[in-house]
Amino acid sequence: MLRAADLRQARREGREGNLVLFVVDASGSMAARARMGAVKAAVLSLLLDAYQRRDKIGLITFRGEAAALALPPTSSVDVAAARLADLPSGGRTPLADGLLLAHRTLAREQLRDPSRRPLLVVLTDGRHTAGPAPGPAAELLVRGRVAAVVVDCETGRVRLGLAGALAGMLGAPLLGLAELAAPGSAPGLAPGAASRATAGSRPARADGRRRHGDSPGLDSAAVGAGLAATVRALRDVA
């Protein structure tokens, strides 16, 4: 006869897992392809230790008139390598659509596994040339207490500082794309910045001005390694 005491519930041991979701501006041409190369390198690097940590990594791109879930959250290097082999770029910049899809994706994953901590990594220059303004979508993520970091991809002499404004909306640290290629762990993160990101506080430089200038060329492999190191630093303090 089966008794209540005979029933056992499976329990997971070890640290809680993380869900790292990249949201990447894939509009434009050459610069977008370089960004995507760096993000691919970062995703594959993070997935190498994802199984042991119970982490999942996902990727959203936005271009043209909409955003797309290019890589549904996964712990598989093989799945990611296949899904990221050929990512289209070019067209307009529907930033709000990317943030809204991130909100929906994170909400769905939260229902599947409430213990998994979300970390949003947004690579953008902050411009939006298609769809609505990003403010309301950013507010949804803030209300959901999603930790975030914004990587400013703006280049050229004239800087609008729109990525800094987005970082302010999200309560996120602001890093520069070129900073991530610098040697060392967690490039561009000042002391305490990782804990501020996971606590949801305002960035140190919310005015949009960059701490270092962008270099004209982009080493995708170096930036990808720096991006992965930064994500690990943010992830490990959560």
pLDDT in tens, 34-72: 888 889 999 999 999 887 788 999 999 998 888 999 999
**Does the pLDDT at position 18 exceed 80?**
yes
Q: What is the span of the domain harbouring residue 194?
A: 16-236
Q: For residue 25, is it within any domain?
A: yes
What distance in Å separates the CA atoms of residue 138 and residue 144, rounded to the nearest whole number?
Answer: 10
**Does the pLDDT at position 7 exceed 90?**
no
Q: For residue 11, is it within any domain?
A: no
Q: For residue 92, is it within any domain?
A: yes
Please give the structure tokens belonging to residue 151: 């990587």
Contacts of 150 (CB under 8 A, 6+ apart): 122, 124, 163, 164, 166, 167, 170, 172, 173, 174, 175, 203
Q: pLDDT at position 88, please?
A: 83
Q: For residue 6, is it within any domain?
A: no
Please give the structure tokens belonging to residue 26: 């894939």
Residue 49: how many other CB atoms lie within 10 Å: 11
Taking all residues of the chain, what is their mean pLDDT, rounded to a whole number? Answer: 79
Region of 166 please: left (phi>0), alpha (psi -120 to 50) or beta: alpha
What distance in Å separates the CA atoms of residue 87 and residue 95, rounded to the nearest whole number?
Answer: 17
Q: For residue 74, is it within any domain?
A: yes
Please give the structure tokens belonging to residue 54: 């119970």
At 190, which CATH number?
Answer: 3.40.50.410
Please give the structure tokens belonging to residue 108: 């769905």
Q: pLDDT at position 40, please?
A: 92
Average pLDDT of the residues in 171-198: 62
CA–CA distances in Å: residue 82 to residues 2, 43, 76, 77, 86: 47, 12, 10, 9, 8
Task: Provide Rg for the chain, Cα atoms.
Answer: 18
**Does the pLDDT at position 198 exceed 50?**
no
